[in-house]
């Protein structure tokens, strides 16, 4: 559902944009300071909620195997949106201080911040003060290891704006390939901020069967696999989505309907598809 089974909004229509993103607090939190809310990736809340209902179904099947009793399963776009915003909503429930929107020029933590390189690529730096000596070496500023502004966690927080400015200048001096090489050798975590087109060509996706062959679609050879894996158990091959009513005859036959009954259902418009006369 959009908003759950109970409450004043239980029967209201919900989209991932309105229920998952907007109502949950997630959309208000995923923007930079001073920036208005934006429209997130279409369907991303739907995909996440699909995994939640899958978890409910598999849990119910396991429950049935253990107890012999079935279960009525469900979730909502709002529930999974609040779950995705869990650290912030849980903090609010505990009376925590309001979440501060990120400002990359004056960040709460300059060591977890996006930076731009000389070839105009953006990457996300995600490290900690424990890795500061390695980062200082990587940017060829080893003397910064002794800088009192970056002596401990409190000092890093106090001088985050200065460190962000310093790292901005350093990273703008070289292309991303250079930084990926030196930072990876120092075991400092970075991630190139890829476009969807770049992600589609990322070899890591194919090595791990995130992108898989697609059967039965002319001109389209690959698709995205679901993210649930049972190692050693192969997944069903990815195939195109069926046309409306494409498998009606097959399924109705399995349910015990005969050819005449199926034809009668189709003639009355109870199931989609053409009658044999229309097809002829």
User: What domains lie within the chain, and their CATH numbers?
Assistant: 16-93 (no CATH), 112-193 (3.30.1540.10), 200-239 (no CATH), 248-279 (no CATH)
Pairing between β-strand 211-215 and β-strand 238-239 as defined by DSSP bridges: parallel
SS3 (DSSP) at 275:
coil
Distance separating the N- and C-terminal Cα atoms of the chain: 42
Q: What is the CA radius of gyration of the chain?
A: 26
User: Half-sphere exposure (CA, 13 Å, Cβ side) for 108?
Assistant: 7
**Average pLDDT of the residues in 123-145:** 96
List C-alpha distances in Å: 10 to 6, 25, 75.
5, 19, 12
The answer to whether 244 and 272 have CB atoms below 8 angstroms apart is: yes
**Which pLDDT value is given to residue 51?**
96
Distance CA 27, CA 170 (A): 32
Q: Inform me whether the pLDDT recorded for 111 exceeds 90.
A: yes
Is 52:80 a contact under the CB 8 Å cutoff?
yes
Q: Give this prediction's pTM.
A: 0.83
The pLDDT of residue 276 is above 80: no
pLDDT in tens, 242-264: 888 899 999 999 999 999 999 99
Percentage of the chain lying above the pLDDT 90 cut: 90
pLDDT digit string, tens, across residues 39-86: 999 999 999 999 999 999 999 999 999 999 999 999 999 999 999 999
Please tell me the distance from the alpha carbon of residue 182 to that of residue 173, in angstroms, as a whole number.
14
> For residue 118, which of 168, 181, 166, 176 has the smallest C-alpha distance?
176
Above 70 in pLDDT, residue 190?
yes
Q: Long-range contact list for 244-248, CB < 8 A, 24+ apart?
A: 244/272, 244/273, 245/271, 245/272, 245/273, 248/272, 248/273
Is the pLDDT at 182 greater than 80? The verdict is yes
Percent of the chain with pLDDT over 70: 98
Average model confidence (pLDDT) across the chain: 93
What are the tokens at 181? 């090489």
Output the pLDDT for position 274. 59
**Phi, psi (5° rounding) for residue 162?**
-65, -40
* pLDDT higher than threshold 70 for residue 277: no
- CA separation for the pair 139, 134 (Å, rounded): 9
Residue 144 tokens read as 């910064």
Whole-angstrom distance, CA of residue 193 vs CA of residue 186: 20
């Amino acid at each position: 559902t959009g908003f759950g089974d109970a409450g004043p909004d239980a029967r209201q229509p919900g989209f991932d944009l309105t229920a998952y993103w907007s109502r949950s607090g997630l959309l208000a939190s995923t923007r930079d300071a001073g920036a208005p809310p934006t429209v997130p990736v279409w369907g991303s809340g739907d995909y996440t909620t699909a995994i939640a209902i899958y978890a409910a179904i598999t849990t119910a099947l396991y429950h049935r195997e253990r107890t012999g009793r079935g279960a009525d399963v469900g979730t909502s776009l709002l529930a999974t949106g609040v779950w995705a915003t869990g650290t912030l909503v849980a903090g609010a429930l505990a009376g925590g201080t309001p979440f501060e929107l990120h400002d990359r020029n004056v960040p709460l933590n300059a060591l977890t911040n996006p930076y731009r390189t000389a070839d105009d690529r953006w990457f996300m730096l995600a490290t900690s003060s424990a890795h500061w000596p390695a980062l200082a070496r990587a940017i060829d500023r080893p003397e910064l290891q002794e800088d009192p502004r970056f002596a401990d966690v409190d000092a890093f927080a106090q001088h985050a704006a200065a460190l962000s400015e310093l790292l901005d200048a350093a990273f703008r001096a070289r292309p991303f390939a250079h930084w990926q090489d030196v930072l990876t050798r120092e075991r400092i975590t970075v991630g190139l901020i890829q476009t969807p087109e770049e992600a589609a060509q990322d070899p890591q996706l194919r090595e791990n069967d995130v992108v898989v062959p697609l059967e039965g679609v002319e001109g389209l050879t690959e698709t995205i696999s679901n993210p649930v894996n049972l190692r050693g158990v192969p997944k069903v091959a990815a195939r195109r989505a069926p046309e409306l009513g494409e498998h009606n005859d097959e399924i109705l036959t399995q349910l015990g309907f005969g050819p005449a009954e199926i034809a009668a259902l189709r003639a009355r418009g109870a199931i989609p598809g053409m009658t044999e006369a229309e097809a002829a």
